Structure 1
Amino acid sequence: MTNSSPGAERWAVSLPRYDYQKDEWATVVPVMERSLSYSLEEIEISHNSRSGAVMRSLNVALVRCVGDPTAGMLETWESWLLAMQVHSAVFAATAPDQETVTCKIRQEERHLATTGRQTYLHADTWLDAFYLAVICREAARLDMLAQIPVSLLRDFGGALDEYTYAWVETLQSFWLRRDDLQTHLVRAVDLSSAEHARVIDAEEMTKLRYPPIMMLYHYLRNDVAGFNNALADAVRWHKEYWTADEDRAAQVHGIVALAPLAIACLAKANGIPVELESEYLPEALLDFLWRGELDA
């Protein structure tokens, strides 16, 4: 398996996060929470509300980690749990043989009308849903997500690079322990090389999309040193990408390295030590310190 990369360096013990202005971001949280609450009010019947809840729930979880970089506060964990619930619920509501599905959202049973084709139900949203379910250690929701047909994601979404579907198939095969895992993983690695970038640019492909795939590759080989090198590369390139200019540094998606965090959670839960410390990998999420505190 081959791919271009920005270079290889030995992993560091720690990697500091960009200096986000905590006071400034703290003023944003209540506004975002109110917008999210409005979306949740009609999530059972409104597709616009579901689309908004998907975006806003993840944004709130990320922004809370500015003021709480270890995710050590209960309110932060509740935000991550809610983001996981919302992302999983919108895919559960694609069930073709049911009129409604019952999903727990913010500790309340909600009855979501099932949906047809919707533009927000694309493969990138599926990946976020998978990452969030891994971070929250939600096996039942991962079971559901792993059985969403990739053909359905193609129908739902707009133009995405082909690597995206290969990566989805890789994660589904991994979770379901299918025999075709190696085939999909090789294809995902090959298609995530910079020369295959069509929809996103080569920099995003190289610094954000490729690294989690290599983390999974080393995890599957039980290669502790290789995994930690890949993790350090992923976090360092995440920081480089999201701090390259002021516009990127102002984006919420740079606050936590979501995909690397998810694969690191997977590895740590299965006995591979994570040797990198960084606020891009909130400690309480990585170590699942909120286990059992709330019913997901």
Structure 2
Amino acid sequence: MVTHIPRHEYPPSLAGDIDTAAGLQGLAKRADEMLERIERSDMSRRRVFDTTLILAETRCKLDPDAEEFETWEAWVTAMQLGSARFAMATAAEGSTVTCRIKEKEWRLPATGPLPHVNASSWVKAFYLALICRENERLEELARVPVSLLRESGATFDEYIYSWVETLQCFWLGQEGVSTHLVAAVDGTGPDSAQHADQELMSFVLYPPIILFYRYLRGDHAQFNDALVDAIKWHRSYWSGEDDRAMSSEGYVALGPLAIACLARDRGFPIEVESEYLPKALLNFTWAGEIDT
């Protein structure tokens, strides 16, 4: 039986210009302007990934099933930029790397470790590559040294590095998946987490990890039960306060969507319907429409 979980309502008082077609056009224009400067501007290289991801998420507020080509294009572009961030970081010092972004080849400089080249942005990049079914980029991300992520100087709870190692070992077919996964789960508890807000940890950061555990166990019913929980927790968190309700991160359940895409492609029946899981992204409806 399919469970439907509607997206939370957004009070009219919270609606801003970005929630209109004109607002989206303005955001898309800013993202394009940053992209055009990406070869020569450090600031653009730092900001364009996050801006494009906001654009992709916001498009899904107005296009909840991701049925419009422009929505798919925004998700693909965010995926490309997320991967490019780590391609630059891992390139040899003084070299350049060629990255395909928005159907154009860009020559980007090696950066080495930087504050925004961190474990959190790596997880987002990996989720996006799962959603876009980008196996080559997934392998490249899986080979990013965890030591590089630690060199960013960003402060995270230790669980996130275990989660990164879980996904890397899994994708590369290496041993240690279970060990790292257990460490990631244990690290999300209130006695372990020191930096992340516990509500954020419990409702947003933890669910993809336990969902992945259910995926590894191969039990379709338990996976769907965990997916229901993940989407309900996502809704609860992002509707809990007005400032959260204004965030584009609440429009799509990024982590659960990524793991659901992985499970669907391995034959799991996905028995949850929600605007938080855009159908065209989950079902890979736009496969082959863009030369990535």
Contact 1:193–1:210 (8 Å) recurs in 2: no
Change (3 A) 1:200 1:12: farther
1:127-166: per-residue Cα shift (whole Å, max 9, x none)? 0000000000000000100000001000014111111111
Residue from 54, 58, 71 that aligns with 1:63: 58
> Secondary structure of 2:57's match?
helix
- Deviation at 1:44? 1.7
* Shift in Å, 1:236: 0.5
| Aligned partners of 1:218 and 1:227 also within 8 Å | yes
2:168 to 146, 150, 172: 172
One-letter amino acid of the counterpart of residue 242, structure 2: E
After TM superposition, the score normalised by the length of structure 1 is: 0.93
> Any conservation in 1 of the 2:4–2:273 contact (CA below 8 Å)?
yes
1:30 matched to 2:25? The reply is yes
CA distances 1:238-262 after superposition (whole Å, capped 9, x unpaired): 0100000111101111000000000
* Aligned with residue 85 of structure 1, among 60, 70, 80: 80
> What RMSD, in angstroms, separates the aligned Cα atoms of the two structures?
1.5
Which structure 2 segments of 5+ residues have no match? Answer: none
Q: What secondary structure does 1:156 align onto?
A: coil
Aligned to 2:212: 216
SS in 1 for 2:196: coil
Question: Cα deviations across residues 21-77 of structure 1 (Å, max 9, x unaligned)?
Answer: 688502421221122112112212322111110110100000000110000100000
Aligned residues of 1:195 and 1:202 also touching (Cα < 8 A): no
| Letter matched to residue 262 of structure 2 | L
Q: Does 1:237 align with 2:233?
A: yes
Q: Tell me, yes or no, if the aligned pair for 1:29 and 1:60 is still in contact at 8 Å.
A: yes
> Which whole-Å deviations, capped at 9, do the CAs of 1:171-196 have from their partners, x for residues lacking one?
10110111111110111111112332
Query: For structure 1, which segment, 262-271 or 14-23, has the greater mean C-alpha deviation from structure 2 after superposition?
Result: 14-23
Alignment partner for residue 7 of structure 2, among 5, 17, 30? Answer: 17
CA-to-partner distance for each residue in 1:200-238, whole Å, 9 max, x for gaps?
A: 111111111111111110101101111111111111000
Say yes or no: does 1:274 pair with 2:270: yes
The separation in 2 between residues aligned to 1:196 and 1:254, in whole angstroms, is 26
Between the two proteins, what is the percent identity of the paired residues?
A: 48
Segments of structure 1 that go 5 or more residues without pairing to the other structure are 1-10
| Map of 1:141 onto structure 2 | 137
Greater displacement, 195-204 / 207-216:
195-204
Structure 1 partner of 2:44: 49
Runs of at least 4 residues off by over 2 Å: 19-24, 95-98
Q: 1:204 aligns with which of 196, 200, 205?
A: 200
Distance in 1 separating the partners of 2:191 and 2:285? 40
Tell me, yes or no, if the aligned pair for 1:16 and 1:278 is still in contact at 8 Å. yes
Task: Give the partner amino acid of 1:49.
Answer: S
What residue number does 2:245 align with?
249
Report if aligned partners of 1:58, 1:83 keep a CA contact under 8 Å in 2: yes
Q: Secondary structure at the match of 1:104?
A: strand
Q: How far apart, in 2, do the equivalents of 1:265 and 1:290 lie?
A: 13
1:194 aligns to what SS in structure 2?
coil
Please tell me whether the aligned partners of residues 121 and 157 of structure 1 are also in contact (alpha carbons under 8 angstroms): no
| Alignment length (residue pairs) | 286
Match of 2:70 in 1: 75
Distance 1:191 1:75, change over 3 A: same
Distance 1:228 1:221 in 2: 12
- The CA deviation string for residues 83-114 of structure 1, in whole angstroms up to 9 with x for no partner, is 00111011111234360110111110000011
- Residue 140 of structure 2 aligns with an amino acid whose one-letter code is M
